[in-house]
Structure 1
Amino acid sequence: MATESPAYVIYTSGSSGTPKGVEVSHRNVTALLDACEQVVTAGPDDVWTLFHSYCFDFSVWELWGALAHGGTLVVVSAEAARSPEALLRLLRAERVTVLNQVPSVFRHLSRAATTPGVEPLPDLRYVIFGGEAVDVDAVREWRQAHGTGTEFVNMYGITETTVFATGRRLLPAEIDVPVGTPVSEGAADPGLNIGPALDGFEVAVLTEDGRPAAAGELGEIYLAGPQLAIGYLNRPELTAERYPVLTLADGEPRRYYRSGDLALVRADGVLEYAGRADDQVKINGYRIEIGEVESVLRTAPGVGDLVVVPATSRVGERMLVAFFTAGAAGTAGTASTAEAGGTGGTGGTGETGSTAGTGFQADHLAAHARAALPAFMVPGRFVQVPELPLSPSGKTDKRALVDQLR
């Protein structure tokens, strides 16, 4: 079989809601495995979990990362995948050494693993993150409870570039510090630092006018290398649009993938993930980065998980809505909702209310937002939910949350 022949097709959701089939070749997969050697050292003694659905490209790495190294692959049941406690028991019983996780899922696992009386996992060598920004405090909590024997790796990549494109190991100076330690002045944010390009990749960050972003500038990530997929199945126009041939600094035309992801170029050359280009919204004339709003709101005492989504208010105006769960100190209770009020929020009407009985409530989070954010960045509504819905890939299902508002 030719190396350029399709190995699989994985469908990803598009902004229009119509899934796109990404056609990936055998050459793409072998290039992935070769490139990851610079970040993860695996061998025949390793035990990997197949945690994710084979409909999610993280599973390609889990499956072939294990088998290509002669290791053991443990298929995680749906029941264990949904229960952090059950997953911990499986990791211990099977002596798992390599675990791959979406950070929002690992957050729950870390909470369960740091419960008093939970036995350590001495065999676990790697926790490899992908799909979202890393929750560094969840890693710090794990290290404080279970020691420093496990390495934590942040990988950045996209289905269209065969799982991973950049990666780095989180440093002891970043994760062996107290929970809540702020980023040092002038340092890269360890949760957003996506690391250098994997072997064979070129990473370009381009501004809206197509020039390379300078230090301190934001731009869109473009990727080139042997892992770029064949394209979108039966959609040549979309393939041509998302995989343009560009001539950049070296003067040689090359095929790139236009990721739709944004990065901040630091003076030291480090790239910090800055969210999706389509996560930048314009409300009341202000351009707002949703990830920045989420970062601030997550610092509120009593907040568990949180996500901010753009939505349309009852009077047809664009606004932000913050969905959140109560943390360990709060009480999940029933649903709690508050509107921001004030004069500058993104759609609040001035009314504030809550239906929760006790514990952390939506109006507490609204007050925190008003105190910590500029008025134009304050979400118009705050909605407490028992849990944030997850998509089949393990990421927060934002579309399902927006549907709850209808």
Structure 2
Amino acid sequence: MELSDLLTDLFRRHHERTALRTAGRTWTYEELDRTTSVLAGWIDRECAAGRRVLVAGEHTAEAVVWALAVMRSHAVHTPMNPGLPADRFAEFVRAADAGLVVCFDRETLVRAGKAGVRALHAGDVGWPTDPVPRDNAAAAPAAPPHSRVAYSIFTSGSTGDPKLVDVGHGGLLNLCRSLQRLLEITPDDDVLHFASLSFDASISEILGALYAGATLVVPVWDQASWLGSVSRHLAAHGCDLAMLSPSVYARLDEAARRRIRKVEFCGEALGESEFHKAARYSRVFNAYGPTEATVCFSLAELTEFTPSIGTPLDGFRAFVRDSDTGDHATAGTGELVIVGDGVALGYAGGHPDENKVFGTVDGTPAYATGDVVTLADDGELSYIGRIDEQIKRLGHRVNLAHVESTLSHHLNRDVALIRQDDTILLATTADSDDTEESLMGRIRSLVPVWEAPDRIMLADALPLTAGGKVDRNALRERLAAPSDALAADASELRHVLDVVAAVLGRELDPDTSIFDAGGSSLAVIQIQVKLSERYGEEAVEAAFASMDYDFTPAAFLRHLRGEAIAPGESAAEVLLGRVEAELTRLRVELPLLRRETASWAEHGDPAVLLTGASGFIGGHVLDRLLSVGRPVLVVSTGDPDRVLNEHRTRFGRDVAAYTRVRAIGYEELQQWVDRRRGPALDGVVHCGYQVNHLLPLDSHMNGSVRNTTLVVRAAAAFGARSFVFLSAASAGERFAPLSAAALEAVGDPYSRSKLLSEEYVNTLADVGCVVSHYRPGLVYGHRPEDHGYLKDDWFTGLIEAARRLRAMPRLDGYVPVCDVSTLTESLLRGLQADAGTAGGVGSGSAVVVHRTYSLGELLHHAGLSESDVLAPAEWFERVRDGGEVHPPLLSAMQAALRGPGWRTPHREVDHDILGRLLGTPPTAPETEAQTGAAHASSPR
């Protein structure tokens, strides 16, 4: 039976049962039938039959749905790990010769585009909502035949080079039947989806669950590791069946292991220690199967520890091959040869020598595994090890897998033996009392001298591959490192680098910023959580704070040890000294720019220079400028033409409305200033700023603050009379002189950068330009066309989470809010300031709050009551457990709620700003005594 037909049969056989579940969302078999059928039809229209479709996503229900859709299409399902390093990612794409890549985040979409393959973002396609007619085959055009390849999976040989295994349809039905029978999967079972889609164990998880009518459960990946997320999920909810490698199982919390009813070990040899841990709580199964044999070849239930890997699944036979004669036997010890229709079709595009492992026995497809087994007369198999792990030492034949198992049992810990040339290296986890010398002494008392390793490396945990196996290549690299007097420092740095590599999926130079390497705010959070496990939360939090939440491995260790800042000198004082030096240079330059370029300005009516037109507030400012017919110079970080096209669509304006608008990028503006030639400017409204509270200060300084400085230079060069800067109320309520104390009083890097940008803008007062800073509260007034700007808004995210949880965090103070239309008018009034003869700072500067909201009003808009209020810590814990809030947005909420809220109620507008935004009834006017307590930090 072909894979697509198998899935169609399963969906319709179990149609009313729950097939797939994740936090807050379930799919019945009938819903999966409808959804995947429509998506499969879409794939068939976009990709030629028989071409591979790379599904570059994992650990989400959405990725599972798309994987099933590709399986039902006429394309070939080919999952790929999206976290591969860039060069490896491109190498895999080329090897697959893919017709399409399905991506689940924008970064992967960009990487796929650079690799030269057509790619789409799953979110841009969306979920189908229309029902699919059941019996419309007669009306449909004849479909092309399905590919003989059911799916393709990347694997790697001993060299680590990627190989693409093409697996046919022949073994799938037997796989499903055998898993249901041997693992006793029932329709009432919850089957854990743990494996990366790029690891073929995911095929067993998905098809095994669906064939039995069970529910496949996908835990929510929160800000910690995937393994940590799964461990917490299991501790809270348990599961009936988990398919895990022994290395992964060993890292689960005890509470998680208690809640697993059946565990199937797969992917690597099961050690006695892991067996006994599992047998305390679960039924234990041991599975064996290379990728080249449709995931699983044999399976055994173990009631006591043995090296048994069971008997072959339905449709398979086992032979052992004598390495000297090449003969095949049905009993004895030798290389395992798998025979049956479930044997893969071969390696796609592989070298002929690689495909020599595929052949036939008695006319049936066969695969030579390279594994040494003992095959008993009754068909039971016992795993011994790899052929390439058989070595000669001191005249004795040594099997490294056997030695590894022996040492793991006696030492009661993870052990990995690595061969490097003639040297045997042992890596293992360390107990508190261990030294390399004491451990080597114990090992030599356990095994003969020819089986003892030459070197030992102690580690907190052995590194794992994406598939959950011990990463032996990573161990080889570590063990090859020289040992010298700096071993302790090198070990600490190595640990930090390993944490970063686990998060980013690639190595990072010790002195390279994670943001310069393309990392995200989420990656910083994950790294901070992992490092806290070793160094403690308070120490790591202090180190990250002193780095302004930038991160380089070497700098982290310096800050952790207190070596980064000179005694008596704070980080704010260091930063202030650097900024003051730059301000001094700018004050010298601006009068020269003003004098040299004023006469060179191009003719025509003076324009208003506007930044941030693609943003929420800047877009409204541009719309207002168009309404009054002002000439506008738009400066943008993105494609200038696209900015205007999107603005036109957003506000429903004709092309003719933009005849007096010119859009350029910051690079072109830099060239104008450098050439001392550009348009005459009447004024500047600077709204363009990256609003991200989790970026480090250095990123803001190198991005938004640097752009602000360029706009200041342009204002001086082209004669601007006024400059209006959209700052942030979180920069403080008082316009005080810049000082180290003022910087330290501001809570987050984004707000500090706004305060510093104000100082750069203030230098224009020296050349006769009137400067006005507007520090607004949270700005709303979104029309339907503006709702996309609310996606990453921490405050509306908090309200939505409160509605879902039926709980609100207890807050202190008031939430200050602004209306975008009223704010826009304030900004444009700032342009009308009379510069006089000397200019000035602060005459138009103001903290702008149009209305505040109390806790009682927020409860009203969330549909809650006072009884639904929780302590903030408890509320955030519930949000994290729910897993519905994206970790960066959750962190932004926490950062925003750390500081004190607005202390007094305020109302300048009559309408209910939040009521209009959220579509809730307006609240009745409240007196100050009635407002109650609310908590929100100074608004961003």
For the superposition of Structure 1 and Structure 2, which TM-score range results when normalised by the shorter chain?
0.7 to 0.9
- Which has the larger displacement, 230-239 or 275-284? 230-239
Distance (whole Å) between structure 2 residues aligned to residue 31 and residue 142 of structure 1: 27
What is the percent sequence identity of the aligned residues?
Answer: 31
Q: Deviations over 1:206-230 (max 9, x none)?
A: 1112234586x53000011121112
User: What are the superposed Cα offsets for residues 233-267 of structure 1, whole Å, 9 maximum, x if unpaired?
Assistant: 12272464011123xxxxx3332111111102457
Q: 1:376 pairs with 450, 455, 468, which one?
A: 450
Q: Which residue does 2:286 correspond to in 1? A: 154
Within the candidate set 151, 155, 177, 1:8 is matched to 151
Distance 2:272 2:449 in 1: 28
After TM superposition, give the deviation of residue 386 of structure 1 in Å.
2.0
| Distance in 2 separating the partners of 1:95 and 1:293 | 34
* Pairwise CA distance, 1:360: 1.2
Q: Deviations over 1:333-373 (max 9, x none)?
A: xxxxxxxxxxxxxxxxxxxxxxxxxx112112211222222
**1:225 counterpart (340, 343, 358):** 340
1:109-158 per-residue CA deviation (whole Å, 9 max, x = no partner) reads 2xx216xxx8942xx432111112223333333444x4xxx321111111
From 319, 323, 326, give the equivalent of 1:210. 326
Distance across 1 between alignment mates of 2:201 and 2:371 = 18
- Matched with 1:363 is 437
Describe the superposition over 1:174-214 as per-residue Cα deviations: whole angstroms up to 9, x where unpaired. Answer: 1xxxxxxxxxxxxxxx3410111111110111111223458
Alignment of 1:15-164 (within 5 A): 15-78=158-221, 82=225, 86-109=229-252, 112-113=253-254, 120-121=258-259, 124-144=260-280, 146=281, 150-164=282-296
1:297, 1:368 within 8 Å by CA — same for their partners in 2?
A: no
1:293: how far off?
Answer: 1.8
One-letter amino acid matched to 1:211: D
Contact 1:201/1:225 (8 A) holds in 2: yes
Give the conservation status (yes or no) of the 8 Å contact 2:165–2:347.
yes
* Residue matched to 2:399: 289
Tell me how far apart the structure 1 counterparts of residues 316 and 223 of structure 2 sit (CA, whole Å). Answer: 35
Is the aligned partner of 1:170 residue 2:302?
yes
Question: Does the C-alpha gap of structure 1 residues 310 and 108 become closer, same or farther in structure 2, counting only changes over 3 Å?
Answer: same
Matches within 5 A, 1:241-280: 241-246=356-361, 252-266=362-376, 270-280=380-390
**Alpha-carbon distance in structure 2 between the residues aligned to 1:271 and 1:286:** 25
Contact 1:135 1:191 in 2 (8 A): no
Structure 1 contact 38–199 (Cα < 8 Å) conserved = no
Q: Distance in 1 between matches of 2:222 and 2:352?
A: 41
Cα distance between partner residues in 2 of 1:100 and 1:370: 35
SS at match of 2:239: coil
CA distance in 1, matches of 2:231, 2:199: 22
RMSD of the alignment, in Å?
Answer: 2.6
**Paired residues of 2:283 and 2:301 also in contact (CA < 8 A):** yes
Q: Distance in 1 between matches of 2:278 and 2:409?
A: 19
2:262 partner letter: Y
Residue 201 of structure 1 is matched in structure 2 by 316
1:177 aligned partner? none
Q: Does the C-alpha gap of structure 1 residues 79 and 285 become closer, same or farther in structure 2, counting only changes over 3 Å?
A: farther
Given candidates 465, 489, 500, the residue that maps to 1:391 is 465
Tell me the residue number matched to 1:308.
417
Encode CA deviations 1:310-341: one digit per residue, 9 max, x unaligned: 014xxxxx110111112xxx22xxxxxxxxxx
Is the 8 Å Cα contact of residues 213 and 265 (structure 1) preserved in structure 2?
no
1:340 alignment counterpart: none
Range that drifts further, 382-391 or 237-246: 237-246
Of Structure 1 and Structure 2, the greater helix share is in 2
Letter in 2 for 1:320: I
2:151 partner SS: strand
Q: What amino acid sits opposite 1:290 in the alignment?
A: L
Question: 1:63 Cα shift?
Answer: 1.4
Measured against aligned partners, the alpha-carbon deviations of 1:377-399 in whole angstroms (never above 9, x if no partner) come to 21111111222111111100111
Q: Report SS of the residue matched to 1:52.
A: coil
Change (3 A) 1:93 1:371: closer
Match of 1:349 in 2: none
Q: Distance in 2 between matches of 1:30 and 1:269?
A: 22
Output the CA distance in 2 between the equivalents of 1:3 and 1:238. 28
TM-aligned CA deviation for residue 167 of structure 1: 0.6
What secondary structure is seen at the aligned counterpart in 1 of 2:374? strand
* C-alpha distance 21-203 of structure 1, shift in aligned 2 (>3 A): same
| Structure 1 residue 38, shift from structure 2 partner | 3.2
Superposed CA deviations along residues 258-277 of structure 1, whole A, max 9, x for unmatched, are: 11111024576532101111
8 Å Cα contact 1:35-1:200 kept in structure 2: no
How far has the Cα of 1:43 moved from its partner?
Answer: 2.8
SS of 1:371's equivalent in the other structure is: helix
Distance 1:367 1:60 in 2: 44
| TM superposition score normalised by structure 2 | 0.34
Kindly indicate whether the alpha-carbon contact (under 8 Å) linking 1:32 and 1:164 is maintained by their aligned counterparts in 2: yes
Q: Which residue of 1 aligns with 2:700?
A: none
- What is the Cα deviation at residue 102 of structure 1? 0.3
Residues 232 and 238, structure 1, Cα contact 8 Å, conserved in 2: no
Kindly provide the amino acid, as one letter, of the partner of residue 20 in structure 1: K
Q: What CA distance in whole angstroms lies between the structure 1 residues aligned with 2:389 and 2:193?
A: 30
Which has the larger displacement, 233-242 or 199-208?
A: 233-242
Structure 1 runs (4+) deviating above 6 angstroms are none
Gaps of 5+ in 2: 1-73, 75-144, 482-940
Shift of 1:300: 4.5
Letter in 2 for 1:133: A
Post-superposition offset of 1:284:
5.0
Other-structure match for 1:346: none
Instruction: Give the secondary structure class of the aligned counterpart of 2:417.
Output: strand
Q: What secondary structure is seen at the aligned counterpart in 2 of 1:194?
A: strand
State the TM-score, normalized to the length of structure 1. 0.75
Question: 2:247, 2:284 → 1: CA distance?
Answer: 15
Q: Larger Rg: 1 or 2? A: 2
Q: Is the 8 A contact 1:4 1:26 kept in 2?
A: no
Structure-2 separation of matches of 1:292 and 1:119? 26
How many residues in Structure 1 have an aligned counterpart in Structure 2? 336
Write out per-residue CA displacement over residues 32-64 of structure 1, whole angstroms, 9 at most, x where no aligned residue: 212323312223222111101111100111112
One-letter amino acid matched to 1:279: E
Q: Which has the higher strand share?
A: 1
Amino acid at match of 1:132: E
Amino acid in the other structure paired with 1:224: V
Higher relative CO (Cα under 8 Å, sequence separation at least 6) belongs to 1
